[in-house]
């Protein structure tokens, strides 16, 4: 069986719609080509064998016969592909640890192309015909799925992907062939660029052709306690720019360390935290660092103290200000990297919880996981049970995800004093989420079906109506 190199996509300038193209989700994972004969082989881009690392994907052998497939291995966490856990699994070599991680953080292989079937090469076959052959050749399983796609409506699909917090989308020309090893204009990746205004606290010693300038800039942001290390950036500069930038940086040199928590693999020149730069990045790692940072420009219009951690972490200060965590058993405000309420790794659906709250007056708290926090409403009479029944829902402060598991008694004298217990919990799928209307499908033990939240503006800014939609 022929060995293949994967085809790659070029970066598109903006989302677009065209009847000549299809559009798929861009997953943040490990590209893998699978070879299925009497045996199974999964090969990464650098030809590393992956079958022993991801034993759960061995079911592919029974789901697809005598074929070569292209896809992405991902691990889902919080409704998104979790590259950090995936990298951790790639580094495991102990068989017992591999099996443990396969059970705790199972991988999914999302297949989007077929390159060979029953000995016949399909590279020159148009994409839509390959998609048809793929659908007829592979069955889905617990950890094997086929990539879904839409035709034509790229702009709407991109917006939907962004609302779900996905990395982006891939556009593919319907009549395109498969071009092994090439970065082709027939495949285009479309994704947003996140940016952050960061303070430069120092730079690392340069090596090689950077020996006389610097290696990377040391970046930090401020939280309530002081500066926090969020990573280093060493790309995005021209040689000339780096030489001029170093002259600027050296005017701010100091002897003492100005940012704690920085790994010192290379010698560091510390700087007064006077200079701000804009940095593009892809996502935030599990330990709170910028992932794949790229230097954009200096921001002389920004005050360093304006560069706060809330740029990359959800803000739930109202929640913290109302509570004394030395007294209440409620969970404290957590950083974004400490989230663990999670989502269904099989579906990517977000979680919801309803808590029965015996405070001064009995009410029910509806909480929907979104953007790293629990969006919360107090519902005095509880969620409606029949279609058309409307209930007042008063929006309250965002809660940390950990609160979704909280049960206990809040002591007298504390905000919300009384007993809290979980009344219902499950997953929900967003149909529509705008400033004045939210529509979702709940899948819980008690809340089941379509629900709608609509702002009740006449009754006040925080008041909404919650009602159960028709099935």
* 122-132 pLDDT per residue, tens: 999 999 999 99
446 among known catalytic residues: no
Helix (H, G, I), strand (E, B) or coil at 127: helix
Q: State how far the Cα of 397 lies from the Cα of 382, in Å rounded to an integer.
A: 18
Give the pLDDT band of residue 333 (cuts 50, 70, 90): low
**Cβ atoms of 444 and 451 closer than 8 Å:** no
What are φ and ψ of residue 393, in 5° steps?
-135, 115
Span 15-32, mean pLDDT? Answer: 92
* Confidence check: pLDDT of 216 > 50: yes
Find the mean pLDDT for residues 117-121: 94
Q: How many Å apart are CA 17 and CA 172, to the nearest integer? A: 11
DSSP for 59-89, written as a single string? GHHHHB-SEEEEEEEE-EETTEE-HHHHHHH
Q: What CA–CA distance (Å, rounded) separates 368 from 374?
A: 5
User: In degrees, to the nearest 5, what angle opens at C-alpha 80 toward C-alphas 428 and 159?
Assistant: 80
- pLDDT at 310 > cutoff 60: yes
Mean pLDDT to the nearest integer, 444-455: 94
Confidence of residue 340 (pLDDT cuts 50, 70, 90): very low
> Per-residue pLDDT for 336 more than 60?
no
The residue ranking higher by pLDDT, 48 or 221, is 221
Checking if the pLDDT of 267 tops 90, the result is yes
Could you tell me the two tokens for 181?
Answer: 């090893």
pLDDT, greater one: 334 or 265: 265
The residue written with tokens 């966490």 in the block is 77
What mean pLDDT do residues 27-53 have?
Answer: 91
Strands (E) located in 95-191: 108-117, 120-121, 144-146, 149-152, 169-173, 183-190
- Residue among 246, 446, 256 nearest 353 (CA): 446
Active-site position among 26, 43, 351, 370? 26
**pLDDT surpasses 60 at 448:** yes
Structure token digits, residue 303: 């005050």
Q: Is the dihedral of CA 53, 111, 80, 7 positive or negative?
A: positive
| Inter-residue long-range contacts of 181-185, CB under 8 Å, 24+ positions, other chains counted | 181/5, 181/6, 181/7, 182/7, 182/8, 183/8, 183/9, 183/10, 184/7, 184/8, 184/9, 184/10, 185/10
pLDDT of 142 higher than 90: yes
Q: What percent of the chain has pLDDT over 90?
A: 63
Distance in angstroms (rounded) separating the CA atoms of residues 378 and 460: 14
Residue 444 has pLDDT above 50, yes or no: yes
What residues contact residue 154 under an 8 Å CB cut-off, 6+ apart? Answer: 15, 16, 17, 18, 21, 23, 169, 171, 190
Angle between helices 83-91 and 95-104 (to 10 degrees): 160
Radius of gyration of the chain from its Cα atoms, rounded to whole angstroms? 25
Averaged pLDDT, 147-155 = 94
Average pLDDT rounded to a whole number, residues 28-55: 91
On average, the pLDDT of the chain sits at 89
Of the two residues 191 and 391, the one the predictor is more confident about is: 391
Per-residue model confidence (pLDDT) at position 315: 59
DSSP string, 19-46: EEEEEEE---SEEEEEEESSSEEEEETT
Query: Can you list the domains of the chain with their CATH numbers?
Result: 8-190 (3.30.470.30), 194-311 (2.40.50.140), 317-468 (no CATH)
Place 377 in a pLDDT band, splitting at 50, 70 and 90. Answer: very high
Backbone angles phi, psi at 46, to 5 degrees: -95, 20
What is the spatial distance between Cα 217 and Cα 205, in angstroms, rounded to a whole number? Answer: 10
Distances (CA, A) of 154 to 19, 116, 139, 433: 9, 28, 27, 20
pLDDT grade for 184, boundaries at 50, 70 and 90:
confident
pLDDT at position 237: 93
pTM flag (> 0.85): no
Q: What does the pLDDT look like over 402-417, one tens digit per residue?
A: 899 999 999 999 999 9
Structure tokens at 199: 């303070």
Among residues 220, 72, 94, the alpha carbon closest in space to that of 143 is found at 72
CA distances from 343 to 78, 82, 369, 401, 437 (A): 5, 12, 9, 11, 23
- CA 345 to mean position of chain CA atoms: 12
Q: What are 56-108's pLDDT values in tens digits? A: 999 999 999 899 999 999 998 877 788 878 888 888 889 999 999 999 999 99
Residue 339: pLDDT above 70? no
d(CA 187, CA 160): 20
* CA angle in degrees (0–180, nearest 5) for 456-361-439: 30
């Amino acid at each position: 069986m022929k060995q293949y190199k994967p085809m790659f996509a070029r970066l598109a300038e903006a989302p677009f719609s065209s009847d000549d193209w299809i559009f798929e989700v861009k997953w943040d994972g490990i590209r893998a080509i699978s070879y299925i004969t009497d045996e199974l082989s999964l090969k990464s881009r650098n030809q590393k064998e992956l079958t022993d690392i991801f034993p759960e994907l061995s079911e592919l052998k029974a789901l697809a016969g005598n074929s070569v497939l292209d896809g992405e291995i991902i691990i889902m966490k919080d409704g998104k592909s979790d590259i950090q856990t995936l990298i951790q699994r790639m580094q495991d070599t102990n068989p017992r640890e591999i099996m443990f991680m396969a059970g705790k953080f199972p991988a999914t292989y999302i297949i989007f192309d077929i390159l060979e079937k029953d000995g016949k090469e399909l590279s020159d076959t148009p994409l839509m015909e390959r998609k048809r052959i793929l659908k007829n050749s592979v069955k889905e399983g617990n950890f094997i799925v086929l990539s879904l796609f839409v035709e034509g409506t790229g702009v709407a699909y991109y917006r939907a992907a962004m609302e779900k917090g996905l990395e982006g989308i891939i556009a593919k020309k319907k009549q395109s062939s498969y071009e092994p090893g090439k970065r082709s204009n027939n495949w285009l990746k479309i994704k947003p660029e996140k940016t952050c205004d960061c303070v430069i606290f120092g730079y690392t010693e340069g090596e090689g052709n950077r020996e006389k300038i610097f290696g990377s800039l040391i970046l930090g942001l401020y939280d309530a306690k002081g500066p926090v290390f969020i990573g280093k950036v060493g790309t995005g500069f021209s040689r000339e720019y780096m030489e001029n930038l170093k002259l600027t940086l050296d005017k701010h040199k100091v002897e003492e360390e100005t940012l704690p928590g920085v790994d010192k693999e290379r010698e560091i020149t510390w700087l007064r935290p006077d200079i701000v730069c804009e940095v593009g990045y892809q996502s935030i790692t599990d330990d709170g660092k910028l992932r794949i940072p790229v230097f954009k420009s200096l921001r002389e219009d920004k005050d360093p103290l304006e560069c706060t951690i809330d740029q990359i972490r959800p803000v739930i200060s109202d929640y913290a200000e109302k509570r004394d965590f030395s007294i209440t058993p409620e969970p404290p405000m957590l950083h974004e990297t400490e989230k663990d309420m999670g989502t269904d790794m099989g579906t990517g659906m977000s979680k919801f919880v309803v808590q029965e709250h015996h405070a001064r007056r009995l009410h029910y708290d509806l909480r929907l996981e979104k953007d790293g926090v629990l969006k919360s409403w107090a519902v005095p009479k509880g969620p409606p049970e029949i279609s058309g029944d409307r209930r007042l829902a008063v929006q309250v402060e965002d809660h940390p995800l950990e609160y979704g598991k909280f049960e206990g008694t809040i002591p007298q004298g504390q905000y919300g004093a009384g007993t809290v217990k979980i009344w219902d919990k499950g997953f929900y799928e967003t149909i529509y989420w705008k400033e004045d209307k939210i529509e979702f499908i709940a899948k819980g033990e008690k809340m089941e079906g379509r629900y709608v939240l609509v702002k009740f503006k006449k009754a006040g800014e925080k008041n909404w109506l919650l009602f159960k939609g028709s099935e």
